[in-house]
């Protein structure tokens, strides 16, 4: 039996990168998985395509697991409630949410447009609110639920050109912490991960010189998406029921636990 046997997990952004590996690993651990991915490119376009999510769901089923796909947006609360209902209809319930869905709109703050701010806040901050709000009552009622949110060192430490992304990611860390505090009496736990991995999103960040390109080549080889994904899945298993309200970092084979202020 796997560490998630008998559990149902919703993975957002599950068509690519860390989300894809989270979905695959959760299924390998025995979970029934709802694979959500809007299907759009990093800069927009092709939204609502079932392609990426369905491809991952098919891969899970081909390996003997159980999975369904969903191509709705985490920015739409009603759509997220629909994901929950899909999990109930297909698999009889929902026990965990892993939420790496994200986009980038990097630009220096003095040049940032309102649209560039709003789009990142909508996916990351609003999206995190939506997946939590659509599931928190269910988790409290069943006295069982786990959230895996995704923050970033861009929020925890700061990064040039990412005021929108960093602000959203710092907000997610606070949201996760408070959900953990409020959910404790009902066995609802919540943790955050600040991952470093070679994904479609990190690949989109431009390099400035040959040294940066060389560092990127090393990153692509040694810092893979499956590494933070394994930690993410581990933290929503029953074996991690005593871990909540924490912020972890994951880069390659290195795992970091951030101290609380």
**Phi, psi (deg, nearest 5) at residue 257:** -110, 120
Secondary structure of residue 250 in the 3-state scheme: strand
Q: Please return the burial class of 31, using the count of CB atoms within 10 Å of its CB with bins 0-12, 13-18 and 19+.
A: buried
DSSP 191: E
CA nearest neighbour of 96 among 32, 27, 145: 145
> Catalytic one among 81, 147, 165, 258?
165
Ranges of beta strands (E only) in the chain are 8-11, 32-36, 66-70, 96-99, 145-150, 188-196, 247-251, 254-257
Instruction: Determine the angle formed by the axes of helices 226-234 and 17-28, rounding to 10 degrees.
Output: 50
Based on the residue annotation, tell me whether 147 is a catalytic residue of this protein: no
Residues with a catalytic annotation lie at: 165
């Amino acid at each position: 039996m796997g560490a998630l046997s008998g559990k149902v997990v919703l993975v957002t952004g599950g068509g690519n990168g860390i989300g894809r590996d989270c979905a695959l690993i959760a299924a390998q651990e025995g979970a029934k998985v709802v694979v959500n991915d809007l299907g759009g490119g990093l800069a927009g376009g092709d939204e609502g395509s079932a392609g990426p999510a369905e491809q991952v769901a098919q891969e899970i089923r081909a390996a003997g697991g159980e999975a369904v796909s969903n191509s709705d947006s985490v920015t739409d609360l009603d759509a997220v409630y629909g994901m929950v209902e899909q999990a109930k209809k297909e698999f009889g319930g929902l026990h965990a949410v892993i939420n790496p869905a994200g986009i980038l709109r990097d630009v220096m703050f003095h040049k940032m447009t309102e649209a560039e701010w709003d789009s990142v806040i909508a996916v990351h901050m609003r999206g995190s609110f939506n997946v939590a709000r659509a599931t928190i009552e269910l988790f409290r009622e069943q006295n069982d639920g786990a959230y895996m949110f995704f923050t970033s060192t861009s929020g925890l430490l700061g990064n040039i050109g990412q005021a929108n992304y960093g602000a959203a990611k710092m907000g997610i860390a606070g949201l996760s912490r408070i959900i953990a505090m409020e959910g404790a009496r009902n066995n609802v736990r919540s943790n955050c991960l600040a991952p470093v991995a070679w994904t479609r999103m990190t690949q989109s960040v431009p390099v400035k010189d040959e040294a940066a390109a060389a560092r990127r080549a090393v990153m692509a080889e040694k810092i893979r998406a499956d590494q933070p994904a394994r930690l993410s899945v581990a933290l929503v298993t029953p074996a991690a029921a005593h871990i909540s309200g924490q912020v972890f970092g994951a880069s390659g084979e290195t795992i970091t636990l951030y101290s609380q202020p």
